[in-house]
Amino acid sequence: MPCSLATLKDLPLCGSRKERRGPPSPDGQWALVLQNMSPPDFVLLPTGVGEQHILSTPNVTPSRGQFLLDSKHIAFDGHEPGHASRIYVMTVNGGPPRAVSPEGFSIRGVRAVSPDGKRIAAVSGKGLSLVSVDGSGEPQAVPVTEPGDVPIGWSADARALLVGHQGEMGCPVSRVDLQNGTRTAWKTFSPSSIAGLVSAN
């Protein structure tokens, strides 16, 4: 998969988070922002003329989210009272959230959804796993990943992930081949290279 620093210039890697804002919807019409209030709610902000819409998540306290490919659904992580974080999918029309993962999984980074729209690269205490968008089956662990890894992008054919790992001196990025289970070092981003980028953590 060809990559360059320019490819990743709009992706959160390491650094200081200023706000939790997902990438724009695939149709380019909306931005998804998590309001800094109690309890938090998602807000849909139009990229052009229009009014914002509140996406309430009833009993689920949301943390991070992003659009699915149809621009009509979002995937997000959150938790219900007394439970650990898990991943949910809901419509932007305000339908109730539907859990698609067991507890213990969350979303990090802004490119977690695969290009074919079928899987979410999720984070757990053991590393990365692939969660089905429709909630079918169990999450599939990505063997060559470890705690602290963050998915920051997919290859166009959805056969590989770009994975970042935040360290004290920088953020090394590797290419993880999902077909043969190999991990290849690609580039380490220094603090100067990532200045101004929003944190994925």
pTM attached to this predicted model: 0.83
Identity at 191, one-letter amino acid code: P
pLDDT range class, residue 12, cuts 50, 70, 90: very low
| CA 128, chain centre distance (Å) | 12
| 147: its two tokens | 């705690």
Please indicate whether residue 180 or residue 191 has the higher confidence score (pLDDT): 180
pLDDT at 63 over 60: yes
Identity at 54, one-letter amino acid code: I
pLDDT at 66 over 50: yes
Give the pLDDT mean for 162-186: 87
CATH topology assigned to domain 20-189: Neuraminidase (2.120.10)
pLDDT at 199 over 70: no
pLDDT at 173 over 50: yes
Give the pLDDT mean for 65-69: 94
Mean of per-residue pLDDT scores for the chain: 83
| 134: its two tokens | 């429709």
Please give the share of the chain, as a percent, with pLDDT higher than 70. Answer: 82
Q: What are phi and psi of 7, to 5 degrees?
A: -60, -35
| 43: its two tokens | 């807000």
pLDDT at 131 over 90: yes
Sheet of 182-189, strands arranged across: 149-154, 160-165, 171-177, 182-189
